[in-house]
Amino acid sequence: MNLDVVHDIQTVYRKLVTATSRPGTLVVLEREAKTLGVQIECLSSTILLARTVLDPEVTFKVIAKEEEAVSRMINQLTYSKPVELPEADFIFILHDASEEQLKEALNHAKVGNLLNPHESAMIILEVPDVTKGDSMILSGPGIQQESIITLPNATSWLGARNEKNREFPLGIDMYFVDQQDRLIALPRTTQIKGNGGEIIWDMLQ
């Protein structure tokens, strides 16, 4: 079965709305991902998200070993233009990006300005498993008091995220996708605390 660009994209969008409005909530894109068939360069969920939000009106950047090939594919699918990091509206950081590349991407992502905080980047980050890794406590809008989630490699992105989101409403919104086509969103409003102090990050990074 092929991807239905009207109805499948609509369900992906509704799941994105659920994930964004309830940070830390796991949503599953498995059904929609299956319509894409086997993907080689990046995860199916990444393509689904790209097809849901990208078009010629916005720009993107891919961080990956095969950056050029993936950029070309996304461009052909959506007609969106690849640009440099500081200008990109959407930044796709694929599973094979190195820790340095990930940190650099987050450091250079745009956060908007106080007049237009919506002119900020949305980060789509591929991870091995959105249910395994460092335990953390979330709070903020969309979360009833607190919720506990686990996300992988927190040390490589949490410090940069905190730095970027220091001055609300400026900041970046992060979306984590994994190989099982599951998605978790951490918009800029979400406050993250280490659960039991396992997470150590360097604020200067």
Partner 1 sequence: MNKTYNFAFFDEGSKREIRRATLKAIAIPGYQVPFASREMPIGRGWGTGGLQLTLSLIGKDDVLKVIDQGSDESVNAVNIKKLVSDTTGVRTTESTADASLIQSRHRVPEVPLQRDQILILQVPLPEPLRNFEPSEQETKKLHAEREYSGAWLMLFEQIMKYGIMATDADHPVMVHDRYVMAPSPIPRFDNAKLDDSEALILLGAGREKKVYALPPYTNVSSLAFDDYAFEIESFTNHACILCGSNDLFLDELVDGESGETYFQCNDTSNCLEMVNQKQISGVK
Binding site for partner 1 (CB under 8 A): 5-7, 9-11, 13-14, 16-17, 20-22, 52-55, 57-58, 113-118, 120, 122, 141-144, 168-169, 173, 187-189
3-state secondary structure of 50: helix
- Please, which residue, 150 or 189, has the CB nearer to partner 1? 189
Give the residue among 38, 5, 47 at the shortest CA–CA distance from 183: 47
Q: Minimum CB separation from partner 1 for residue 128, in Å?
A: 25
Q: Which two tokens stand for residue 133?
A: 């890794």
Nearer to partner 1, 26 or 58 (CB): 58
We find the least distance from the C-beta atom of residue 8 to partner 1, in angstroms, to be 10
Minimum CB–partner distance for residue 200 and partner 1 (Å): 27
Question: In whole angstroms, how close is the CB of 197 to partner 1 at the nearest point?
Answer: 26
Phi, psi of 189 (to 5 degrees): -75, -15
Listed in sequence order, the residues at least 6 apart from 156 whose beta carbon sits closer than 8 Å to its beta carbon are 99, 102, 103
Nearer of residues 25 and 44 to partner 1, judged by Cβ:
25
Q: 65 vs 117, which CB is nearer to partner 1?
A: 117
Question: Burial, 113: exposed, middle or buried (Cβ in 10 Å; 0-12, 13-18, 19+)?
Answer: exposed
